[in-house]
A and B are shown apart, each in its own frame.
Chain A
Amino acid sequence: MNLTERQLLTIVAEAVLERRLVDDVKRLGAHGYSIGHVTGEGATGRRTADWSGPSVRLETVVTEEVAEAILAHLATDYFPHYATVAWLMPVSVARPDRY
């Protein structure tokens, strides 16, 4: 099968940021996303289902340019203020025009 390389961008952030994160990711060029709610532990402490609910994990498959634009935005608007982590993984997809 003919596969094309894209980037899987995963972002884990405070629950309160969900709406804003979705708006930003779409605005910066992502065509779609999946969201899950997770709990765990990280550099800023244990994130449990507290007053704002469990953390949000957003996954989106995008081109490298879009991934970099989103990461650059996270670096200026999210990382300094909020408990947020993000990582990239190369993935192979069919129907590359969807991403």
Chain B
Amino acid sequence: MRRVVAPISDPYGLFQRDTSGVIASAVIDNLASAPVIAFVVAAVATLLKADIRLPDGLYSILSTFLLLAIGVKGGKALGQARLAEIWAPLLAAVVLGVVTPIIAFLLLRSAGRLDRIESAALAAHYGSVSAVTFTMILAFLDASGEPYEGFLAGLLAILEVVGIIVALSLARGDGQRWIEGVSEVLRGRSVTLLVGGLVIGLVVGGERLAPTDPVFVGLFTGALTLFLLEMGVVAAERLSDVAKMGWRIVALGIVVPLINGSLGAVAGSVAGLSTGGTAVFATLAASASYIAAPAAVRIALPSASPGLYVTASLGITFPFNIIVGVPIYVAIAKAIT
């Protein structure tokens, strides 16, 4: 068997030509990163009925900080990018935003045996994206020394919105509040902070942003680790609900991100993104929203069960993606670019 020797800048070996056998070790290494291990520790502590919950209010502060920081970083990169390199990924993001919720909807209707409203509610989550899963892939790539296009944070905002609008449209006609749901997404904290950060980064630009780096760059991984600690608690609290969901939904909570992630990788590659950028794109397509989508769906489709969509997104797909999914999407990106 040929041994793969990875350079220091690529500790997981994922960016070597031969990726055989490295996904498992990449998953293990990914597990040992501070944010992921914080998630696991908090989840285990919660299952053991230990109180590891962060003080009230810190969750909001951390999510606000993370969304703004992602936006600022993306806006800065957007300002430095040329239109010629942005338009194709932009178009691909819109196409993905339309296609991924439709795939999720069809799978949930057929294989998941859910009704139209419940399927659309879940499809909104799988069509939209998770900003935290996005930061996890960036952290993974940074640790690997693998470059990626910084402007992808701009696409995060697009994907977050388009997927929800498409999914809510699939349920339209049953007297629900479609416009209010869409308005909830557009005016919600998640999109507003992200877009606000993008504008700040874009307007202020590179060098003049340097004084803010100790906050937005220096504190980022630490804040992400604290946030994942809280996420571990929330996800573990959902675990008893996961057991009640039935194996079909649990399986789809893993299959849907794998299908959408593969599609995202293809789209990213066709749009001309680098290997790192393609991995980010794949992760975005695979991720499921648990902030913007639940709020929009709760408003627009009140008869859909939050116990189902929040649990699937937060209790199944989110842990799957950050622990196992990210290294897989990187490997797919590596294989097709």
A residues near B, CB below 8 A? 14, 16-17, 19-20, 49-54, 81-82
Tell me, in angstroms, the Cα distance from A53 to B303 when the chains sit together: 20
Q: Which of B101-109, B255-263, B280-288, B290-298 sits within the interface?
A: B290-298
Beyond A50-B310, A51-B294, A51-B314, list 8 extra A-B contacts (CB 8 Å): A16-B294, A49-B56, A52-B298, A53-B60, A54-B56, A81-B302, A82-B298, A82-B302
Tell me, in angstroms, the Cα distance from A20 to B295 when the chains sit together: 12
> Pick the contact of B291 from A19, A49, A51, A81 — CB < 8 Å?
A51
Tell me, in angstroms, the Cα distance from A16 to B294 when the chains sit together: 9
Which of A17, A50, A51, A81 has the most CB atoms of chain B within a 10 A radius of its CB? A51
Contact between A51 and B180 (Cβ–Cβ < 8 Å)?
A: no
List of A residues within 8 angstroms of B120 by Cβ:
none
Assess A50 versus B234: contact at CB under 8 Å? Given A16-B295, A20-B180: yes
Which of B234, B299, B303 has the most CB atoms of chain A within a 10 A radius of its CB? B299
B59 interface residue, CB < 8 Å from A?
yes
Interface size on B, residues (CB 8 A): 18
Per-position contact with A for B306-334: 1 when CB-CB < 8 Å, else 0? 00001000100000000000000000000
> Pick the contact of B310 from A51, A54, A81, A82 — CB < 8 Å?
A51
Which of A20, A50, A82 has the most CB atoms of chain B within a 10 A radius of its CB? A50
Tell me, in angstroms, the Cα distance from A53 to B295 when the chains sit together: 11
> Pick the contact of A52 from B294, B302, B303 — CB < 8 Å?
B294
A-B contact pairs, 9 of them (CB 8 A): A19-B187, A49-B56, A50-B234, A51-B290, A52-B294, A52-B295, A54-B56, A81-B303, A82-B298
Contact between A16 and B299 (Cβ–Cβ < 8 Å)?
A: yes
Name B's interface SS.
Answer: helix
Closest to B298 in A: A16
Closest to B293 in A: A51
List of A residues within 8 angstroms of B237 by Cβ:
50
Contact between A51 and B299 (Cβ–Cβ < 8 Å)?
A: no
List of A residues within 8 angstroms of B299 by Cβ:
16-17, 20
Tell me, in angstroms, the Cα distance from A1 to B12 when the chains sit together: 77
Closest to B189 in A: A53
Contact between A51 and B60 (Cβ–Cβ < 8 Å)?
A: no
What distance in Å separates the Cβ of A51 from its nearest Cβ neighbour in chain B?
6
Contact between B234 and A51 (Cβ–Cβ < 8 Å)?
A: yes
List of B residues within 8 angstroms of A20 by Cβ:
180, 299
Closest to B183 in A: A19
Tell me, in angstroms, the Cα distance from A49 to B303 when the chains sit together: 22
List of A residues within 8 angstroms of B294 by Cβ:
16, 51-52
List of B residues within 8 angstroms of A53 by Cβ:
60
List of B residues within 8 angstroms of A19 by Cβ:
184, 187
Q: Pick the 9 closest A-B CB pairs, nearest first.
A: A81-B302, A16-B298, A16-B295, A51-B294, A51-B310, A51-B290, A49-B56, A52-B295, A82-B302
List of B residues within 8 angstroms of A17 by Cβ:
299
Closest to A81 in B: B302
